[in-house]
């Protein structure tokens, strides 16, 4: 499965995750800054039918972040740029 992520709308405090055609459950996501500091952690029981999930993150400063998505099927780390 491939996961993609990005902020939307631009400059907002939401990170959208798209899971393609993957029926994933029991996910864990963690958001780290470029220095490795944890900014957000969340568990997701199931992804909705449209395979989108929105993370609401508060007060992120502009910069580069890394989002680690962990599922039973494996893990993936994504780079997210907040402007």
Q: CA-to-CA distance for 2 and 16, rounded, in angstroms?
A: 14
Which pLDDT belongs to residue 37?
96
Which pLDDT belongs to residue 34?
94
Structure tokens at 64: 């580069």
Q: What is the pLDDT of residues 33-63, one digit of tens each?
A: 999 999 999 998 877 667 778 887 767 888 8
Q: What is the pLDDT of residues 59-81, one digit of tens each?
A: 788 889 999 988 877 888 999 88
Exposed e or buried b for every residue in 13-51, given b needs 16+ CB within 10 A?
Answer: eebbbebeeeebeebebebbeeeeeebbeeebeebeeeb
């Amino acid at each position: 499965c491939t996961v993609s992520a990005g902020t939307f709308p631009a400059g907002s405090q939401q990170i959208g995750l798209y899971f393609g055609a993957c029926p994933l459950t029991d996910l864990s996501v963690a958001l780290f800054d470029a220095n490795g500091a944890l900014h957000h952690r969340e568990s997701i029981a199931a992804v909705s039918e449209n395979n989108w999930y929105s993370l609401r993150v508060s007060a992120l400063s502009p910069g580069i972040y890394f989002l680690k998505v962990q599922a039973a099927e494996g893990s993936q780390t994504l780079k997210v740029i907040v402007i």
